[in-house]
Amino acid sequence: MKQEAKTTGFGYGTDSMKPGATINVKTESVSLKKGSSKITVNISKRREMSQSPHYPKYAIAKYDLHAGYIFPEFLQSLVPQGTPEYVDSGQKYVERIVRALYYFKQCALIGPSGTGKTHVTYLVAELTGMPVWEVNCGLQTSSYDLIGRFVGLGKENWIDGQVTSWLRYGGLLYLDEANMMKQDVATRLNPVLDTRGHLVLNEKDNEIVTRHPYAMLLISMNPFSAEFAGTKPLNAAFRRRMSVWINFDYESVGDHVSKKEVDLLVKRTHVDESVGYQIIRVGAEMRRQYKSGDLPYAPSIGDLIHWAVLIKDGSDPMSAAEETIVALTSDSVEVQSDVRRLIESIFRGH
């Protein structure tokens, strides 16, 4: 008996999954030969919409962002893997972002540095199986970087930019620090984000690139203020094309210390809970002073975790803080002294 296996295509189904979820089904054709007879058996291998262990924690099953579609194999490396869960206190950021993308295909995230905008973007991409095309916007970012350009002499070697590749193949385009984009760059995106849904490549004989049906967009930015150098009011036309705006803030600020943030830090670093509480308490007070303009930087949960890791490794809290939180906040000797006094008062007072 001879057995041959060959992949022939993909199918889709929803049985054995929670309501609204999608399963991608890979079908293989197996041929069994004996003498002049041939029997063909189809074997289906099911793959859930998300392989992330955090998927059940978020109520997003009914929002399948690419139902009945599998992104090409060469894009699979762009789908994030191993992103930690995002902890909030009932704001449901993940669910709200996925819902916005499901209905409108584009969404804006706004909030101070360290509130988890990029983290939640990568988590959303992993949970929904979307490849990420990331652009860190800045004053030096040109339309050539986003759209593409010819390389070398002549017009034979055209290289697509991130935006053009996203339009052709779909996925999640993430524009980080979007309000630092130059006006000419933002203007090029306007026809992509409205009912026209296409980009005209003036640089490439006016080729028209139509937006892929599963091309989603997330932009993130810090609030426009003098504290964030390089930020400016978002282009009004571009702003109107963002269907949903989601505001982010820190979990712990001032006298409010989030138990969830303490638990997350303890879980990630295995420091004693009392130490974890003091670390988050320091972070909360630094964030309060940052928001009032007294400090130039507020620590993210990731920054506080780095501090806790060194403490768990055996450093005393002040020595570990010198290598992490103190140096991170500012190069100013005066500011660093303020941070040291803050840390000492909280740890000694506790």
Only one residue has tokens 């504290």, namely 227
Please determine, for residue 256, whether its predicted confidence score (pLDDT) is greater than 90.
yes
CB 274 within 8 A of CB 314: no
CB burial of residue 154 (10 Å; 0-12, 13-18, 19+): exposed
Handedness of CA 103, 65, 220, 235 (dihedral sign): negative
Instruction: Please state which of the ranges 159-168, 200-209, 226-235 shows the lowest mean pLDDT.
Output: 226-235
Higher pLDDT, 137 or 316: 316
Q: Please tell us whether the domain made up of 55-247 is placed in CATH 3.40.50.280.
A: no
CB 49 within 8 A of CB 42: no
Q: Which stretches does DSSP call E strand in the chain? A: 2-13, 23-34, 37-48, 106-110, 132-136, 148-150, 158-160, 171-176, 198-201, 207-210, 215-221, 245-247
Q: What is the pLDDT of residue 73?
A: 94
What is the residue extent of each domain of the chain? 2-48, 55-247, 259-349
Please determine, for residue 191, whether its predicted confidence score (pLDDT) is greater than 80.
yes
Reported as a single tens digit per residue, the pLDDT across 42-80 is 443 444 567 788 999 999 999 999 998 999 999 999 999
Q: Tell me the average pLDDT across 179-184.
A: 78
CB 305 within 8 A of CB 266: no
The top-scoring range by mean pLDDT among 242-246, 297-301, 305-309 is: 305-309
Q: pTM here?
A: 0.78
Angle at which helices 273-291 and 301-312 cross, to 10°: 140
* DSSP letters for 15-65: TTS-TT--EEEEEEEEEEEETTEEEEEEEEEEEES---TTGGGS--TT--T
CB burial of residue 212 (10 Å; 0-12, 13-18, 19+): middle
- 3-class SS at 253? strand
Reported as a single tens digit per residue, the pLDDT across 116-175 is 999 999 999 999 999 999 988 876 777 778 888 888 776 678 889 899 999 999 999 999
Q: Which of 243, 247, 232, 215 is nearest to 116 (CA)?
A: 247
Q: Which of 83, 16, 92 is nearest to 47 (CA)?
A: 16
* Strands of the 171-176 sheet, one edge to the other: 132-136, 171-176, 215-221, 106-110, 245-247
Angle at which helices 259-269 and 301-312 cross, to 10°: 40
d(CA 264, CA 302): 10
d(CA 297, CA 293): 9
> How far is the CA of 129 from the CAs of 76, 77, 122, 170, in angstroms?
9, 11, 10, 12
